Structure 1
Amino acid sequence: MVRPRTNRQRAEVTVIGAGTFGHAIADSISRSEIRTALVTRSETRLERIRQMLARSSPYLMAQRLGDAPLGEYVFLALPSADIAEVVGRLASYHSEETLGYVSLSKGLTAPDGETPHELLSRRFGSIRSAVISGPSLADEMPKHGAHFVVASSSHTLADKLVLLMDGEYTSATGSNDPTGIEWAGITKNAVTLGFHACLAATGSLNQAGAFAGQLFTEIYDYALTMGASPRSFAGIAGIGDLMATSHASTSRNVRAGQLIGSGHSVGEAEARIKQVVESLHTIPLLERRINQDHAATTTPTITALSNRIVGNLAHEQWIASLTSR
């Protein structure tokens, strides 16, 4: 007998972030008959989400953050720009019954450029922190599935999360390299945006390919200094995710790159896309982080793209720098 929805009961899994991706993740987990709460921070959206979920799995419910205790596993399906604020609020809801906090973000957090996993580990401990990444375009998940890599320094946590994510239309594998898996996702977003920005600016696939390769190398070299494994960049969460995203016309990083490369500002790009674009905020944070770390890596490509994004380099100057390479 299927248990009825009770919107204030404790779920086994809490997914915070009721956007398209968060909904797809929550729906996937609930299809394995796991009580799953899709959590929104917006009171105005709550009733609309509940009506939408009425046609979904009976194991999926909608909640507002704070309405019910957190689940055993808490997934953060949020833009990285929102992670720090939400993690700060989660600290007041935390209990020993919550076994894992999982980042699905592929960007850096403000103001210091911490990765979400670094932030979660600092707040809740590394054995309770994990990262999930991989080719997982939300609009494709119900029909074509998705492929995830689950990474944690805790083998127990990683194994449990693999079981949760290995569902009706998704597959999951485990990794003990959360640093590498997370930085591979960050790199994927930045390189996708950079490639399409350069292509829109120059009209040259050769130029765009060279620019993307240089950008990839600079972030990759820095990630290695953070302890990332090269294998994580070569696998599903690295090259696999990069290939999928860079070819997806619906990707916000693709569209933002095209707009930035056509001369639009960050504000104009996000207004047209009507979504937060992680890489637009991550690239300047990344440049600042690398400079503050005094890392033994040179980052002229990151610096040029960051200056174009924040407005320190005029669009025409940025194009001139691309064509003079």
Structure 2
Amino acid sequence: MTDATTHPSGPRVAVLGAGSWGTTFAKVLADGGSHVTIWARRPELANEIAVGKRNSDYLPGINLPRTLNADWRLPAVLEGAEQVYISVPSQSLRANLADVSPHLDSHAIVVSLMKGVELGTGSRMSQVIADVLELPANRIAVASGPNLALEIAKEMPTAAVVASDDLLTAQTVAATATNPYFRSFVNTDVIGTEFGGVLKNLIALAIGIVDGVGYGENTKASILTRGLAEMSAFAAAYGAQPETMSGLAGLGDLIATSESPLSRNNRAGRLLGQGYSYSEVIASMQQTAEGLASVKPVLELARARGVLMPIVEQVGQVLDGTLAPKDLAPHLTTDDVPQGE
């Protein structure tokens, strides 16, 4: 771990996005020995991070590494960066990348920290990165797993998975994103790793909804288990490796996001279950609950491959106002006789 007397020995990296997750991951990287500069859109927030080593808006009470820098000027953040980690709202990624492109080093690896599907195109975040930045697969990676930002910022031990089509790229990023309290594993299943991070948000919304209604642990356990089955069927239909859904990017992330009050998607679901409207929930959230925007494109993708996702369908109906939150739980299956567990 670096401190005020230790010069970073790792690669020069940039983190784009100074929300709770972007700042936390910047801390992870700095504590692993990297030269880290984080991009904050607001100059005052960049100054607080760079000078005060705090981010009081998104990580109150957390001391950031003395080696962590910040800037609001994107070209300055990207200059010389060997790895660029992106943590912006998924629906604004394409617009942000247009600003990144002119300043990206020609050999830099770009890593997605986002968990969403683009509205309109149904594209995963790595696909948007490849499209806009015109990057080959060996310069793109994704990171996912049970990533509740505040716990990690408090240096509670956790693990994540880094995926890339190129194993060496995954290993390079994983080595950078590892420190005494954060361990990164690797795989080459980009599709499964990304979809795991997206789909678990939708099940977490369902868990939050029934929690807000007041249903108990049996209901939540049923949704959690059947939700994992829906995630696995969907991911397999799009070419993911089945074992990915039982790993950190699938089951691990699903448990953390569904059960923790720190989860934005769980909180959004609970508010819906308590009777708040979709617009009221959006207005009350300080940061984006990615699951809310991902329901529609995921259902479109599911229907395109003939994948049945009854729980996610019910969540969509709650968001549309066509299903009362209290009626979500009885609709755990389709009208057909359910198969298996």
State whether structure 2 residue 67 is matched by structure 1 residue 59: yes
Counterpart of 1:114 (choices 98, 114, 123) is: 123
Aligned counterpart, 1:30: 30
Distance 1:186 1:305, change over 3 A: same
User: Conserved in 1, the CA contact under 8 Å of 2:12 and 2:36?
Assistant: yes
Amino acid in structure 2 at the alignment position of 1:310: D
Matches of 2:194 and 2:120 in 1, distance apart?
Answer: 18
State whether structure 2 residue 97 is matched by structure 1 residue 79: no
User: Conserved in 1, the CA contact under 8 Å of 2:170 and 2:187?
Assistant: yes
Cα shift at 1:89: 2.0
Q: Which moved more, 1:100-109 or 1:50-59?
A: 50-59
Distance 1:213 1:15, change over 3 A: same
Q: How does 1:105-254 map to 2 (within 5 A)?
A: 105-122=114-131, 123-141=134-152, 142-201=154-213, 203-254=215-266
Distance 1:27 1:124, change over 3 A: same
Cα shift at 1:185: 1.3
Matches of 1:215 and 1:221 in 2, distance apart?
Answer: 10
Distance 1:76 1:153, change over 3 A: same
1:218 alignment partner, SS class = helix
Amino acid in structure 1 at the alignment position of 2:69: M
Taking structure 1 as the reference length, the TM-score comes to 0.87
Distance 1:167 1:320, change over 3 A: closer
Aligned counterpart, 1:8: none
Distance 1:32 1:199, change over 3 A: closer
Counterpart of 1:104 (choices 99, 113, 132) is: 113
User: Conserved in 2, the CA contact under 8 Å of 1:27 and 1:56?
Assistant: yes
Report sequence identity in percent.
25
Give the total of aligned pairs.
313
2:201 alignment partner, SS class = helix
Cα shift at 1:116: 0.5
Matches of 2:289 and 2:218 in 1, distance apart?
Answer: 25
Structure 2 unmatched runs, 5+: 55-62, 333-341
Matches of 1:233 and 1:301 in 2, distance apart?
Answer: 17
Structure 1 unmatched runs, 5+: 5-10
Cα shift at 1:44: 4.2
Cα shift at 1:180: 0.9
User: Conserved in 2, the CA contact under 8 Å of 1:120 and 1:126?
Assistant: no
Distance 1:69 1:195, change over 3 A: closer
User: Conserved in 2, the CA contact under 8 Å of 1:193 and 1:256?
Assistant: yes
Counterpart of 2:296 (choices 269, 279, 284) is: 284
Matches of 1:230 and 1:324 in 2, distance apart?
Answer: 26
Matches of 2:267 and 2:102 in 1, distance apart?
Answer: 37
CA RMSD, Structure 1 to Structure 2 (Å): 2.3
Matches of 2:250 and 2:238 in 1, distance apart?
Answer: 16
Matches of 1:31 and 1:176 in 2, distance apart?
Answer: 25
Distance 1:321 1:178, change over 3 A: closer
Which aligned runs of 4 or more in structure 1 are off by greater than 6 angstroms?
Answer: none
Cα deviation per residue 1:148-182 (whole Å; 9 max; x = unaligned)? Answer: 11110111111111110111321111111111111
State whether structure 2 residue 330 is matched by structure 1 residue 323: yes
2:71 alignment partner, SS class = strand
User: Conserved in 2, the CA contact under 8 Å of 1:2 and 1:58?
Assistant: no
Distance 1:69 1:253, change over 3 A: closer
1:143 alignment partner, SS class = coil
User: Conserved in 1, the CA contact under 8 Å of 2:206 and 2:311?
Assistant: no
User: Conserved in 1, the CA contact under 8 Å of 2:167 and 2:188?
Assistant: yes
Taking structure 2 as the reference length, the TM-score comes to 0.84
Aligned counterpart, 2:311: 301
Cα shift at 1:314: 4.6
